[in-house]
Structure 1
């Protein structure tokens, strides 16, 4: 008796992502990078713009773990945007246990990505006004530098929204086009 394996379902690839969407997806990882690197500098023990008194709260192990975790999660979240323009956004890579090799249902990518785009846009909407808020625990130059490092985050939500819309358009059902 021979054992035949069930063939993997044939996945018809969507149209390639437009060049602007690929660029926008890669740009998301870069807009998150300055603030993530700044937090890592804090973890390494440098005040990075904080006054001596303001920096004391960042010297605890809990604060360091939180800042490293936040930096890694931000970069990972930004990196997932690239999946919306790459083949692994259409078929789960085979090395992933249980679901590897399966087709990604478009709405399983679109809904979380669109929700993330809205959340990120709202979260970072006030960053352009950074310098209008008091930052008594920072030095004057630190306030300028940190505000500048956080400004790119304003682009994260809109970039993710644009790439998500591109993904949706390329993967929508032919019946609805």
Structure 2
């Protein structure tokens, strides 16, 4: 047996339930509205800010930060899809050094669970957008931003549900493998 690549599990992991697949894809979608809003700022649209409030977003550093934040958030959300796809069980062969190796379940479960908890705690206070209007935004802009950021409240719980499903499927497969 080749020591550089771990074999695929002897007993295949059962397919993810339909609800988990939908939840994983929904995770990527709930991050999209806020990211698109930040991209609008990067492209020079005030996106609800007053003229004076928009000035800080016109710097190169602010634009790089907002674009990077949008891309990183979307990539992190897309990783949730790995919990319902084969690449969440075996690393794709095209990835250098680790391609073709089996994914250890806890290597996916622990970061996903920590992320789910962190996201849930972070976005639990999203209603502040409606309660405490940002002084550099128009009232309409404040409402629009609140609406665009509100889906992020679902990011943590969706990730947690998909992570739990992944953990249960991988644990059941490991149990079948040990019995067989």
TM-score, normalised relative to structure 2: 0.92
Q: For each residue in 1:72-106, what CA deviation from the matched residue of structure 2 results, as whole angstroms up to 9, or x when unmatched?
A: 00000000000000000000000000000000000
Cα distance in 2 between the residues matched to 1:74 and 1:13? 31
Distance across 2 between alignment mates of 1:47 and 1:10: 51
Partners of 2:28 and 2:74 within 8 A in 1: yes
Name stretches of at least 5 consecutive residues in structure 2 with no aligned partner.
none
TM-score (norm 1): 0.93
8 Å Cα contact 1:91-1:103 kept in structure 2: yes
After superposing on structure 2, the runs of 4+ consecutive aligned residues of structure 1 that deviate more than 6 Å are none
**Counterparts of 2:28 and 2:157 in 1: how far apart (Å)?**
13
SS at match of 2:127: helix
Residues 88-147 of structure 1: CA distance to partner in whole angstroms, max 9, x if unpaired? Answer: 000000000000000000000000000000000011111134211131100011011010
Please give the secondary structure, in 1, of the residue aligned with 2:13.
coil
The answer to whether the aligner puts 1:17 opposite 2:13 as a matched pair is no
Counterpart residue number, 1:174: 175
1:45-84 equivalences in 2 (<5 Å):
45-84=44-83
| CA RMSD of superposed structures (Å) | 1.6
- 2:40 paired residue number: 41
Deviation per residue, 1:48-76 (Å, 9 max, x gap)? 00000100010000000000000000000
- SS of equivalent to 1:127: coil
Which residue in the other structure is 2:156 paired with? 157
How many Å apart are 1:151 and its aligned residue? 0.4
Residue equivalent to 1:102: 101
Distance 1:150 1:119 in 2: 16
Q: Are the aligned partners of 2:30 and 2:154 in contact in 1 as well (CA < 8 Å)?
A: yes
Q: How many residues align?
A: 172
Residue equivalent to 2:120:
121
Q: Tell whether the 8 Å contact from 2:8 to 2:101 is kept in structure 1 after alignment.
A: no
TM superposition shift of 1:6:
2.9
| 8 Å CA contact retained: 1:28, 1:79 | yes
User: What stretches of structure 1 of length at least 5 have no aligned partner?
Assistant: none
